[in-house]
C-alpha cells in the first residue's frame, strides 16, 4: 500500500472513531456519555472520600446508613432527649488545631475518629452533629436531618470539597430534605470550593422536578455557571424534559454568552433528545452556534447521532444544512458516516448538496461507502439525489476506490452498475481496478458477466440468415475519457487474458482500424526521414558528391527538427511514462548523432565524423525497424528479436567471467598471433570464436609463427571448444528457441496487448492538453477521427454472423461472438428447465414435500420471517417517535396560542 493508501486509511479510522450510534437517545453510547458527565459532576467515590476526611466521617457513613425501623426511632428519641451543650454544637472541625496552611493535624483527626468508632449512634449524633447532618442528607435520612437541625446542627457546614448538605440532598433528589434545609436557612446559591456546581446544578443533573422547583422557589440562580455549564445544561444532559421546561419557564437562558462553547442545544442534539430539543428551540435556542474546536452546530451533532427527529426539528427552525465544521463536513457527511438513511433522506429533501466537498475533497458518497452496514441503501439514495459516482477527493480516491479498500463487494458491484469508472487513478497512479483485484476479487466474475451481457441477440433467431447480434461497447469505456484506458488497466493488474474476450477483441480491432491512419502517418514520416538521412550519409561519406550532399542537407535538418519537436511533445505530455520507454532513448540518440553529423558538412579522410556517421546510420535503421514492429502484422517478429536479444545479453552477463578467462589465457599463450596481441581485441576474438570460427589450422600450423607453448595450448583450446563453443552456444540456441516457442504460443494475446498499448499511446497524444494550442480544425479532425464511440448514442455495432458479406470484423472473431451468444442462450434454456422442474416438484405427494422442506429451508424461512418482523418493529418505532414529535409540536403551538390570548 502506498503513502496515499496510508493517508486515506488513517483518515478513515479517525472518521470511524467519530461516528455516533445509529440509535436514539436511549442508545448505549448516549448512556455512556451521560454517565461520564455524572461522574464529572458528582462522583459517589469523591463524596465518600470527602466525608470520610471529616471527624467521625467513616463511622457516620457506616452507622447512619444502617439505621432504620425501630432502631432509627429509638435513636431519634434518645437524640431528642439528649442535652446538646454549646461546645458540642459548635463545628467540631474548628475545635481541632490547624497548621498555618489550614490542614487538620492528622493526630487530632485520628483521635476524633477513634473516639467515634467506639461511640453509640446516639453519642455519634450528639458529639458530631455537622458530620452526621452531611451523612444523613447524603443517605436520605429525613428524620435524622430534622432532629439534627432542631438540635442546632450547622446547615451551612460542608465537606472538604465544599459540598453542603443541600448539595448532597439535591444530588439525591430528596425534595423533602431539601425543603427542610431551606427552611432552616440553607443557601440555594452556595457553590462548592471548585465552583463546579450549586444545589440547582445537582438537582438538574439528578432530573428531579420537585427538587428543582423547590430550589427555584427559594431563589436559586437559574443561570448560575452559564459561562460554562448551567443547570439547564445538566437537565438536558439527564434528558429530563420536565426539569428542562421548569428551568426555561423560570428564565433559564438556552444560549451561552461565550463563542464556540457547548450549549444545551448541542447536548440535546448529540443525545437525540427530541423533547428537550423541541423545548429549547421553542424558548429561543440559537441553531447557528458552533461548538469548540470542531465547530459543530447542533445539526452536525444530530446528524452524527443519526437522529432524524432532531434533524427535522432543527431544519424546521431554519438550521443551515450548508454549515461546515472544522473539517469542512456538512451534516450530510456526518449522517452518511453514521449510516442513517432516514437522516440523509430528510437532509436531501431539504436541499442539502450531495456533492459538497469537505476539506479533503470528499463527498457524502465517499463517507457512505466507507462502511458496509447500510452502505448500499445510502449509495442508492445519494446517487438518486444526483451524487457524482466518479468524483475524486484531493488524493484522487473515488468512492469505488474506498469501497474496494473496505472490501465491500456488494457496494463495489452497486457502484459499477451505476457507472463507476474502474480506470480512475489516485494521485499515486493506482487504478480502482487494481484495488478491486486485490481486495474484492469476487467482483471479477460479475465484471466478466457484464462483458458477456454486452453481446446480445438483437433481431431474429440465431439460425436465421438475417440474424443480427448487438455489441454494446459501453462497459469498456466506463469513465468517458480515453477509450482504451480499461484495456491498459487490465494489462496492468494482471488480467490481460480478458483482452481475448470477443467484446474486447472486437473493440480493439475496430479501434485499430479507426486510428491506424495516424500510425501510418508516423511510419511514413520515419521512412522519409530514414531515406533522407541515408542519402545524405551516402553522398557525403561514401560517394563524396558535395552537390548531392547539399541537396539532402536541408531536408535532413527539417526532419531532425520535426523529430525533436515530436519527442519534446511526448516528453511534456508525460515525463514518467516517457522515461519508461527505452525506444525514446533510441530516438534521442538518432537526434543527437544527426545533429553532430549535420554540424560538420565536409568530413576529412580520417575524421571522427565517420564514427558518428556509422553509428547514426545504424541507429536510424534500428529505429525504423522498431516503428515497423509496432504494426500488428510484423510485431511478433520484432518482439522475438528483442526478446532473444535481451536474453542473450543476460546470458552473456552470466558467463562473461568464463569468456574473459579464456581470452586472457589465449593472450598469454598466443603472443605471436595478431588477434591476441591486444587483450581487448583478444576478448572480441574469443566472443567471435563462440560462433565456431576457431581458425585451427592458421594458429597451429603456421610455418612463420610456431606455437610457443604446445600441450597447454592444445588443452585450453579443447576445453574452450567443449565448454563454450558446444555447451554455451547450444544452450543459448536452446533458450532462444524456447523463447520463440513461448512467444508463438502467446502470440494472439501479445498481439492484442501491443495493439492496445499502441492505440492507447496514439490516443493519449491526440487528446493531450498541449495539442489544444494547435489550430482548432486540425485538432477537431484528429480527435474525432480517433474516437470509435460517440456516447451516449453511438456506442454499439450490429453484425450479421450468418451473412457472408459481413466484413466489419474478421470471420474467426465473428465465430467467437456467435459461439458466446449460443452458449449464453443454452445456459438460459437450462436455467428455465431447471426452474420448471422445481415448480413441478412442488405438486408431488406429501412424502416428497416433507423431503423437499428440509431443516435448512425451514431455518432459512424462520430467519427471513424474523428479519421481516424486526424490520416491522423498527418501522413501528420510527412511526411512534415521529408521532410523538408531531404531538409535542402541536402542544407547544397550542400553548403559544394560549399565551398570546392571555396577553
pLDDT digits (tens, 9 = 90+) for 511-540: 888 888 888 888 899 999 999 999 999 988
- Cα(211)–Cα(199) distance, integer angstroms: 9
Contact 327, 302 (CB under 8 A): no
Residues 271, 275, 280, 281: what is their CA dihedral angle, to the nearest 10 degrees? Answer: 110
Task: Give 158's strand partners.
Answer: 164
Task: Give 431's strand partners.
Answer: 425
Q: How far is CA 659 from CA 641, 652, 656, 676, 824, in A?
A: 24, 9, 5, 14, 60
Q: What DSSP assignment string belongs to 576-638?
A: HHHHH-HHHHHHHHHHHHHHHHHH-SS--TT-THHHHHHHHHHHHHHHHHHHHHTSHHHHHHH
pLDDT digits (tens, 9 = 90+) for 192-214: 888 888 999 999 988 889 999 99
- Cα(204)–Cα(225) distance, integer angstroms: 13
Please provide the CATH number assigned to the domain covering 641-745.
Answer: 1.10.287
| Average pLDDT score over residue span 408-422 | 89
Given this model, what pLDDT does residue 836 score? 65
Q: What are phi and psi for residue 469, nearest 5 degrees?
A: -110, 145
Q: How far is CA 118 from CA 48, 472, 707, in A?
A: 21, 97, 126
pLDDT digits (tens, 9 = 90+) for 610-668: 888 899 999 999 989 888 887 777 777 777 788 788 888 888 888 889 989 999 998 88
Number of C-beta neighbours around residue 132 at 10 A: 30
Give the architecture (CATH level 2) of 20-42+197-320.
Alpha Horseshoe (1.25)
- The 8 Å CB, 24+ separation contacts for 474-477 are 474/789, 474/791, 474/795, 474/796, 475/450, 475/451, 475/503, 476/451, 476/503, 476/504, 476/507, 477/789, 477/791, 477/795
pLDDT higher than threshold 80 for residue 268 = yes
pTM of the model: 0.72
- Cα(179)–Cα(871) distance, integer angstroms: 49
| Average pLDDT score over residue span 831-854 | 52
pLDDT higher than threshold 50 for residue 52 = yes
Number of C-beta neighbours around residue 432 at 10 A: 30
Q: How far is CA 406 from CA 643, 714, 763, 777, in A?
A: 40, 71, 33, 47
- Cα(452)–Cα(507) distance, integer angstroms: 14
Contact 164, 197 (CB under 8 A): no
Q: What percent of the chain has pLDDT over 90?
A: 22
Contact 499, 490 (CB under 8 A): yes
Contact 433, 422 (CB under 8 A): yes
Q: Who's near 748: CB < 8 A, 6+ residues apart?
A: 500
- Cα(113)–Cα(348) distance, integer angstroms: 67
786 burial class (0-12, 13-18, 19+ CB within 10 angstroms)?
buried
Q: What percent of the chain has pLDDT over 70?
A: 81
Task: Give 104's strand partners.
Answer: 98
Cell 423431503: give the residue: 851
Residue 361 banded pLDDT, cuts 50, 70, 90:
very high
Taking all residues of the chain, what is their mean pLDDT, rounded to a whole number?
80
Contact 799, 469 (CB under 8 A): yes
User: What nine digits make up the cell of 278?
Assistant: 423541541
Q: What are phi and psi for residue 388, nearest 5 degrees?
A: -80, 120
Q: In angstroms, how far apart are the furthest CA atoms of the chain?
A: 150
Tallying the residues shown for the chain, one arrives at 903
Q: Which of 651, 624, 653 lies closest to 638 in space, CA to CA? A: 624
- For 98-125, the three-class secondary structure string (H helix, E strand, C coil) is ECCCCCECHHHHHHHHHHHHCCCHHHHH
Say how far residue 843 (Cα) sits from the centre of its chain. 52
E-assigned strand segments in 502-594: none
Given this model, what pLDDT does residue 862 score? 55
- Cα(686)–Cα(666) distance, integer angstroms: 9
- Cα(532)–Cα(412) distance, integer angstroms: 56
pLDDT higher than threshold 50 for residue 486 = yes
Can you tell me whether residue 186 is helix, strand or coil? coil
Residue 93 banded pLDDT, cuts 50, 70, 90:
very low
Q: Who's near 689: CB < 8 A, 6+ residues apart?
A: 720, 724, 725
Q: Who's near 816: CB < 8 A, 6+ residues apart?
A: 502, 505
Helix%, strand%, coil% for the chain, nearest 5: 65, 5, 30
pLDDT higher than threshold 60 for residue 441 = yes
Specify the range with the lowest mean pLDDT, choosing from 193-197, 240-244, 741-745.
741-745
User: What nine digits make up the cell of 680?
Assistant: 581487448
Sign of the alpha-carbon torsion through 644, 646, 651, 656: positive
| Average pLDDT score over residue span 686-707 | 75
Specify the range with the lowest mean pLDDT, choosing from 266-280, 415-429, 450-464.
450-464
For domain 1-13+321-453, give its CATH number from 3.40.30.10, 2.30.29.30, 1.25.40.20, 1.10.730.10.
1.25.40.20
pLDDT higher than threshold 70 for residue 870 = no
pLDDT digits (tens, 9 = 90+) for 246-256: 999 999 999 88
pLDDT higher than threshold 50 for residue 818 = yes
For residue 229, give the H/E element and its range. Answer: none
Amino acid at each position: 500500500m502506498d503513502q496515499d493508501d496510508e493517508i486515506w486509511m488513517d483518515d478513515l479510522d479517525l472518521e470511524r472513531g467519530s461516528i455516533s450510534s445509529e440509535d436514539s437517545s436511549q442508545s448505549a453510547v448516549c448512556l455512556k456519555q451521560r454517565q461520564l458527565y455524572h461522574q464529572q459532576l458528582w462522583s459517589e467515590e469523591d463524596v465518600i472520600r470527602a466525608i470520610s476526611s471529616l471527624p467521625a466521617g467513616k463511622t457516620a457513613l457506616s452507622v447512619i446508613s444502617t439505621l432504620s425501623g425501630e432502631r432509627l426511632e429509638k435513636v431519634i428519641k434518645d437524640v431528642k432527649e439528649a442535652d446538646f451543650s454549646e461546645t458540642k454544637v459548635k463545628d467540631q472541625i474548628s475545635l481541632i488545631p490547624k497548621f498555618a496552611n489550614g490542614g487538620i493535624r492528622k493526630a487530632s483527626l485520628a483521635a476524633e475518629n477513634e473516639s467515634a468508632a467506639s461511640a453509640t449512634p446516639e453519642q455519634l449524633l450528639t458529639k458530631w452533629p455537622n458530620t452526621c447532618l452531611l451523612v444523613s442528607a447524603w443517605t436520605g435520612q429525613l428524620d435524622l436531618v430534622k432532629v439534627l437541625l432542631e438540635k442546632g446542627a450547622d446547615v451551612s457546614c460542608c465537606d472538604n470539597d465544599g459540598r453542603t448538605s443541600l448539595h448532597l440532598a439535591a444530588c439525591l433528589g430528596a425534595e423533602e430534605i431539601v425543603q427542610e434545609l431551606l427552611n432552616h436557612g440553607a443557601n440555594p446559591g452556595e457553590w462548592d470550593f471548585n465552583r463546579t456546581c450549586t444545589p440547582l446544578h445537582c438537582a438538574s443533573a439528578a432530573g428531579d422536578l420537585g427538587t428543582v422547583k423547590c430550589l427555584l422557589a427559594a431563589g436559586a440562580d437559574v443561570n448560575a455557571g452559564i459561562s460554562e455549564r448551567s443547570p439547564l445544561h445538566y437537565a438536558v444532559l439527564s434528558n429530563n424534559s420536565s426539569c428542562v421546561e421548569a428551568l426555561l419557564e423560570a428564565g433559564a437562558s438556552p444560549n451561552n454568552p461565550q463563542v464556540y462553547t457547548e450549549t444545551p442545544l448541542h447536548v440535546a442534539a448529540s443525545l437525540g433528545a427530541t423533547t428537550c430539543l423541541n423545548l429549547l428551540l421553542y424558548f429561543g435556542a440559537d441553531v447557528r452556534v458552533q461548538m469548540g474546536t470542531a465547530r459543530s452546530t447542533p445539526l452536525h451533532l444530530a446528524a452524527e447521532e443519526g437522529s432524524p427527529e432532531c434533524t427535522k426539528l432543527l431544519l424546521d427552525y431554519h438550521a443551515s444544512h450548508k454549515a461546515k465544521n472544522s473539517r469542512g463536513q456538512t451534516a450530510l457527511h456526518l449522517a452518511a458516516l453514521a449510516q442513517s438513511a432516514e437522516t440523509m433522506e430528510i437532509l436531501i429533501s431539504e436541499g442539502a448538496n450531495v456533492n459538497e466537498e469537505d476539506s479533503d475533497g470528499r463527498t457524502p458518497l465517499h463517507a457512505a461507502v466507507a462502511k458496509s452496514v447500510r452502505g448500499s441503501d445510502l449509495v442508492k439514495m445519494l446517487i438518486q439525489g444526483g451524487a457524482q459516482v466518479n468524483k475524486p477527493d484531493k488524493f484522487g480516491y473515488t468512492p469505488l476506490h474506498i469501497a474496494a479498500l473496505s472490501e465491500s463487494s456488494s457496494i463495489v458491484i452497486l457502484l459499477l452498475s451505476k457507472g463507476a469508472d474502474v480506470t480512475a487513478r489516485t494521485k499515486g497512479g493506482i487504478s480502482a481496478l487494481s484495488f478491486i483485484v486485490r481486495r474484492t476479487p469476487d467482483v471479477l466474475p460479475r465484471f466478466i458477466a457484464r462483458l458477456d451481457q454486452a453481446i446480445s441477440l438483437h433481431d431474429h433467431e440465431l439460425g436465421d440468415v438475417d440474424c443480427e447480434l448487438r455489441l454494446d461497447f459501453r462497459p469498456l469505456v466506463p469513465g468517458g475519457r480515453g477509450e482504451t484506458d480499461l484495456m491498459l488497466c487490465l494489462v496492468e493488474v494482471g488480467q490481460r487474458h480478458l483482452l481475448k474476450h470477443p467484446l474486447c477483441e472486437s473493440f480493439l480491432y475496430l479501434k485499430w482500424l479507426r486510428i491506424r491512419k495516424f500510425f501510418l502517418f508516423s511510419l511514413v514520416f520515419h521512412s522519409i526521414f530514414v531515406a533522407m538521412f541515408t542519402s545524405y550519409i551516402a553522398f557525403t561519406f561514401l560517394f563524396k558528391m558535395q552537390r548531392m550532399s547539399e541537396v539532402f542537407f536541408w531536408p535532413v535538418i527539417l526532419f531532425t527538427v520535426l523529430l525533436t519537436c515530436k519527442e519534446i511533445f511526448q516528453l511534456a505530455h508525460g515525463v514518467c511514462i516517457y522515461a519508461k520507454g527505452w525506444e525514446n532513448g533510441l530516438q534521442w540518440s538518432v537526434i543527437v548523432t544527426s545533429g553532430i553529423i549535420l554540424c560538420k558538412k565536409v568530413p576529412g579522410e580520417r575524421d571522427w565524423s565517420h564514427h558518428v556517421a556509422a553509428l547514426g546510420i545504424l541507429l536510424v535503421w534500428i529505429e525504423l525497424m522498431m516503428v515497423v514492429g509496432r504494426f500488428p502484422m510484423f510485431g511478433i517478429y520484432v518482439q522475438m528479436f528483442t526478446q532473444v536479444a535481451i536474453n542473450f545479453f543476460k546470458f552473456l552477463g552470466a558467463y562473461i567471467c568464463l569468456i574473459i578467462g579464456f581470452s586472457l589465457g589465449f593472450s598469454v599463450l598466443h603472443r605471436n598471433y595478431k588477434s591476441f596481441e591486444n587483450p581487448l581485441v583478444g576478448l572480441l576474438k574469443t566472443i567471435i570464436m563462440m560462433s565456431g570460427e576457431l581458425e585451427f589450422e592458421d594458429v597451429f600450423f603456421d610455418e612463420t609463427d610456431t606455437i610457443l607453448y604446445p600441450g597447454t595450448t592444445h588443452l585450453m583450446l579443447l576445453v574452450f571448444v567443449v565448454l563454450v563453443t558446444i555447451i554455451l552456444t547450444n544452450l543459448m540456441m536452446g533458450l532462444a528457441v524456447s523463447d520463440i516457442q513461448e512467444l508463438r504460443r502467446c502470440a494472439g494475446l501479445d498481439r492484442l496487448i501491443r495493439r492496445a498499448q499502441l492505440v492507447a499511446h496514439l490516443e493519449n497524444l491526440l487528446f493531450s492538453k498541449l495539442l489544444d494550442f494547435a489550430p482548432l480544425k486540425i485538432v477537431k479532425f484528429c480527435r474525432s477521427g480517433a474516437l470509435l464511440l460517440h456516447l451516449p448514442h453511438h456506442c454499439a455495432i450490429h453484425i450479421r454472423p450468418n451473412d457472408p458479406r459481413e466484413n466489419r470484423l474478421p470471420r474467426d472473431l465473428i465465430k467467437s461472438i456467435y459461439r458466446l451468444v449460443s452458449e449464453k442462450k443454452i445456459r438460459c434454456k437450462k436455467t428455465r428447465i431447471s426452474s420448471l422442474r422445481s415448480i413441478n416438484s412442488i405438486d408431488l405427494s406429501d412424502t416428497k414435500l416433507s423431503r423437499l422442506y428440509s431443516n435448512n429451508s425451514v431455518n432459512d424461512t424462520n430467519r427471513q420471517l424474523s428479519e421481516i418482523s424486526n424490520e416491522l418493529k423498527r418501522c413501528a418505532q420510527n412511526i411512534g417517535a415521529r408521532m410523538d414529535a408531531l404531538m409535542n409540536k402541536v402542544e407547544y403551538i397550542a400553548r403559544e396560542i394560549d399565551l398570546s390570548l392571555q396577553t
